[in-house]
Chain A
Amino acid sequence: MDRYFLIASTVCFLAAVVHTVIELRAKVFRPMRFNFIAIGLGFIFQTVFLWIRGQELGRCPITNLFEVFTFLAWSVALIYMVVGPAYRLSLMGAFTAPLVLLLQTFALIAPIDTRHEVTVPVNSWLEFHASMSLVAYGIFALACIAGVMYLLQERQLKTHHLHSIFYHLPPLTNLFAVITRLLWWGLALYTIGIVSGFFTGHPLPRIQLVAAIALWLLYAAILQARHLKWLAPKRVAALCIIGFSAALALLWGITFTAELHHMP
């Protein structure tokens, strides 16, 4: 039953993607309300799904890979709803919708919604640790999207081949400012997520801990290099994409290992 809400949410994101593609093909794309409304509706359906699933489980719905991917997609949509309008990055919706669509479609199609008995009692520190880390991943996802937008705009400016989308992408300087802020917020929340993991009362698996710290170090290094002006904005943008790919791989690894051990 709760999956229907997730399907409805996925349809909303699909509508946003299809609408964007049609507009881009017709070369009449303009930052419009449609994307924001579609993503907003999709977000509401996601929230309802997570709420129902949470009520069923009696805990934060991140007990398997399916739920984790959905929670991540929800985080991405949430951050977009906060960041997009604030920085007038209306086109970010056109880039966010495909990512969320991809995450949710994968979650719905792949046989990963395996219900197993969670033996660990409800632990608020553990839930805080997991949810905070996932929201941080959502922010890193948005930084990755802003990175893609930056590289796209940068390439058009370098090669002098300006496509219709060029006029709708935000200026390079603004995109770089957004990337930087997202990285700071993401790193702050990720730090809180990792630190709160030590208060769960359970020993953290060593491999997961090492991988999480490695990811933290990667983002901290990007920010430090950006702060010291060692890295050009283009490289920071590219590293945001690499960083999020690493984060996704890590997330997969953590959840997969946790499922093996029947841990939330």
Chain B
Amino acid sequence: MNLFCIGLSHHTANVAAREQFAGNATAESIAREAGCAEALLLTTCNRVEVYAVSEKRISTDEVTRCLTGKTSDGPEYCAAPFYRYEDNKCVQHLFRVASGLDSMVVGESEIFGQAKKAYESARTSGAVGPYLHRLFQRAFRVAKQVRTHTEIARGAVSVGSVAVELAQRIFGKLGDCKVLVLGAGETSERTARALLSRGVKDLRISNRSLDRAHELARTVGGRAVPFDDWVTQCRDIDILLTSTASETPLLTSKTLTPMLWDRVDRPLFVIDIAVPRNVDPSVNELEGVYLYDIDSIRSVAEQSLALRRQQMAAAEAIIADHVAEFFDSISRGLNRLSQATEHPSLAENPLRASEL
């Protein structure tokens, strides 16, 4: 039996190339048209991959033709930079993909859910048999182990998630936090939504245009505050998110210092994602105030990514162990089978033999 993977990913092809092969085929159609015993199609925004098992070798062209949904040869897919992994390389590749090691953002967990969904879809259509079943079940187990035993998924890597992560490191649960969003732009809306998703209940929105503030407040579920009142709100709030188009800093140490006297035991987390900055950098020097501008948020995201990359070796070691063990278990099944002549039907399927 041949186990192989043919695919395109963000490493090898741009989105224009990838989109030609997405959405035209299903696992079942690939298995039928290419003549595979089993097939599974994994399509995400960053990759299009086919995992398959066949009795005889199936060429990459045959599979890519199925992916385009066309019956005749065409130059477009012949030119696409498809990669092909076979046997243990295929297993290793899948384990890396499921663990997020092959992702654009190393360690992201979305791919795990996407792989599960792809597996479920192929299983429902009957395209997955015992080989791919066992391979994918093992891949999910490996991915969980990698996440549990390494720091590969540690730390936030986007503006919204960094803001939420930092807020949680300061306040713990965000349910009691009062948040003021200054400026009703797209990024602040996304960040506000990220904070709301983590339990924030008191969200205030202030904007030069009160109508826009009301509109955003309605959309995300907060309340609008007149722009003239936002400074006084700093006495009460825990998190300030600024993203106005102001050319000069709106918040300075001089403005903030008197308000901190009333809240000496409560930290204030200021997220300034505006360019030019809305908050004077000297504010970070005030006791109990934690100011993060867009550069420092990016820096935190980069530190998280660097931490994740440092964990790749540990993750690769876990994967290598599983790849070796996975093949060993199949080989042992084969050996046992060669001695068990009373089960000739199983000789054709080493996987079933390994499960004996």
User: Could you list which residues of chain A lie within 8 angstroms of chain B, going by C-beta atoms?
Assistant: 26-28, 153, 157-158, 160-162, 164, 166-167, 169-174, 176, 226, 229-234
Residues of B within 8 A of A153 (CB): 169
CA gap between A174 and B176 in the complex, in Å: 13
Closest 10 CB pairs of A and B: A171-B172, A160-B296, A174-B172, A232-B287, A229-B264, A157-B290, A173-B171, A172-B170, A229-B265, A173-B172
Let me know if A28 and B169 touch, CB within 8 A: no
Complex interface residues of chain B between 251 and 301 (CB less than 8 A to chain A): 264-265, 267, 284, 287-288, 290, 292, 296, 299-300
Interface residues of B (CB under 8 A from A): 149-151, 154-155, 166, 168-172, 264-265, 267, 284, 287-288, 290, 292, 296, 299-300, 303-304, 307, 310-311, 314
Q: Which residue from B149, B151, B288 sits with its C-beta under 8 Å from A233?
A: B288
Contact of A26 among B154, B304, B314 (CB under 8 A): B314
Of the candidates B284, B288, B290, B303, which one forms a contact with A161 in the assembled complex, judged by CB atoms under 8 Å apart? B303
Q: Is the beta-carbon distance between B265 and A233 smaller than 8 angstroms?
A: yes
Are A27 and B310 in touch, CB under 8 angstroms? yes
A173 touches B170 (CB 8 A): yes
Alpha-carbon gap, A26 to B267, bound state (A): 32
Cα A153 to Cα B265 in complex, Å, equals 16
In whole Å, how far is B100's beta carbon from the nearest beta carbon of chain A? 16
A170 touches B287 (CB 8 A): no
**When the two chains form their complex, are residues B170 and A231 in contact, meaning their CB atoms are under 8 A apart?**
no
Pick 8 A–B contacts, CB within 8 A, sort by A.
A28-B314, A157-B170, A157-B290, A162-B304, A164-B154, A226-B265, A230-B264, A233-B267
Whether B267 lies near A160 (C-beta < 8 A) is no
B267: chain A residues at CB < 8 Å are 172-173, 233
Q: What residues on B are CB-neighbors of A170 within 8 Å?
A: 172
| Contact A232–B172 (Cβ < 8 Å) | no
B150 to chain A: closest residue by CB? A28
Contact status A27-B311, CB under 8 Å: yes
19 further interface pairs, Cβ-Cβ under 8 Å (given A27-B310, A162-B304, A229-B264): A26-B314, A27-B307, A28-B150, A157-B166, A158-B290, A160-B296, A160-B300, A164-B151, A164-B154, A164-B307, A170-B172, A171-B170, A171-B172, A172-B170, A173-B171, A226-B265, A232-B287, A233-B265, A234-B287
A27 surroundings in chain B (CB, below 8 A): 151, 307, 310-311
Tell me the minimal C-beta distance from B260 to chain A in angstroms. 9
Contact present for B149 and A28 (CB under 8 Å) = yes
Smallest distance from the beta carbon of B291 to chain A beta carbons, Å? 9
Q: In the assembled complex, which residues on chain A have CB atoms less than 8 Å from the CB atom of B304?
A: 162
Note all chain B residues with C-beta closer than 8 A to A229.
264-265
Interface centre among A160, A164, A226 (most CB of B within 10 A): A160
Name the residue of chain B whose CB is nearest to the CB of A26.
B314
Task: Give Cα A234 to B168, complex, Å.
Answer: 18
CA distance A231 to B265 in the complex (A): 7
Chain A residues within 8 Å of B300, by CB: 160, 162
Query: In the docked arrangement, what's the CA distance between A98 and B99, Å?
Result: 35
Closest to B261 in A: A229
Q: How far is the CB of A36 from chain B (nearest CB, A)?
A: 18
Nearest to B172 among chain A residues (CB) is A171
CA distance A26 to B150 in the complex (A): 9
Considering the chains assembled together, what is the distance between the CA atoms of A173 and B300 in angstroms? Answer: 21
CB distance from A233 to the nearest CB of B (A): 6
Chain A residues near B171 (CB-CB < 8 A) = 171-173
Bound-state Cα–Cα, A170 to B172, Å? 8
Residue of A nearest to B155 (CB): A167
Residue in chain A with minimal CB distance to B299: A160
A172 touches B169 (CB 8 A): yes
